[in-house]
Amino acid sequence: MAITNATDQNFSQEVSDGLVLADFWAPWCGPCKMIAPVLEELDAEMGDKAKIVKIDVDENQETASQYGVMSIPTLLVFKNGEKVDQVVGFQPKEALAELLNKHA
Q: Which residues are catalytic?
A: 29, 32
Q: Looking at the DSSP assignment, which residues form a beta bridge with residue 54?
A: 5, 23
C-alpha 92: how far from its chain's center?
A: 14
